[in-house]
Amino acid sequence: MKVLTGLIKFGSVVALAAALAACGGGPSDSEVRTALEKRIKNDLGALSGLASLTGGDAQKMMDSMIPKIENISVQGCDSIGNDVYQCSVEATLKMMGKEDLIMEDIRLKKSSEGEWLIVR
């Protein structure tokens, strides 16, 4: 009986630790991808709006200039305070038919809605 009680306590501790680990920490690969895609769209949104005023060809050209994230891998994240994480990210970007492998350090913070955002 003592062994069974010990196993139940141990199982409870492991389950609690797993639940706490899932609640905190830096962003996942997919969360970083979403934050990057959103930032790219926001940054290029004004240019895209200008292109739509000048005609369809300009819009196609602008669309081809928007980088597409082919692959992304978070190499590591460190908490730098105030719920901000500094993450090393390796990504393969495709733009205008050319593929580039880049390695960048970016800062991310979780919004009050639970969405990761890139901060400067």
Q: What pLDDT does residue 54 have?
A: 60
pTM for this entry:
0.62
The domains located in the chain, with CATH, are: 26-119 (3.10.450)
Q: Which residues pair with 106 in a beta bridge?
A: 87
**What is the distance between the alpha carbons of residues 76 and 89, in angstroms, rounded to a whole number?**
7
- Site of tokens 């680990």: 21
Mean of pLDDT over the chain:
75
Alpha-carbon dihedral 92, 78, 108, 22, rounded to 10 degrees: 100
Tens digits of residue pLDDT in 53-103: 566 676 677 666 777 888 889 999 999 988 899 999 999 988 888 899 999
